[in-house]
Chains A and B, each alone.
Chain A
């Protein structure tokens, strides 16, 4: 199993450009998440998808859109990138075995984005 994979690993954008960050998991997990991490700070949730076909806003959704393409894939789109979106983006997934409060999240390696 590859676990959670993210592409690209690095990206430089100019202000106003758009791009899509890709995330895929091969663990058959129901839930997937997008976080951003700014220097010296913890992770903040952008969007999440509890199950295939559903998406919900997290703590910092402005400027982003997401698509849960299928159970495996959850993409994050920046329609018009801004310097404030310079960050490291992490995708995560989790499974919730019925009746047990596990919700362990498994993270991808991250995408480092610089917006000039």
Chain B
């Protein structure tokens, strides 16, 4: 699985959009970009994933650059409950097998009142 690079920390004002960047310059064609978050003392929570097209769900939007070397997770209206560590994970798919998620150090997002 390709390595990812994220800033260690970011702040965002409550109600504003939070834009979390991730670099994955060595991503290969069959690897997906996943985002998880971990609120303090809780288990990681899946947010969104994508291959090459931009994706949106009820939690967030994922913007992947055309060359797929970087992506941005967007929380459109951040709330205090979005304060968490956000992990960007790149992984491929291997039919018939279980694959672990490799969590790096992530980005600590702090939403400020």
A→B interface (CB under 8 Å)? 4, 30-31, 33, 35, 41-43, 45, 48-51, 56, 58-59, 90, 92, 94, 101-110
Contacts and interface: CB of A to CB of B under 8 A. Distances in A.
Nearest to A101: B93
Given A33-B98, A50-B97, A101-B93, A108 B103 contact: no
Residue picked from A30, A56, A103, A110, most chain B C-beta under 10 Å: A103
Interface in B1-48: 30, 32, 34, 41-46
Contacts of B32: 101
A42 B42 CA distance: 13
Interface residues of B, number: 26
B54 interface: no
A24 to B, nearest CB: 14
Contact of A106 (B46, B99, B105): B46
A110 B46 contact: no
A30 to B, nearest CB: 8
Nearest to A98: B95
6 contacts: A42-B104, A45-B100, A48-B100, A59-B100, A92-B43, A101-B30
A42 B103 CA distance: 5
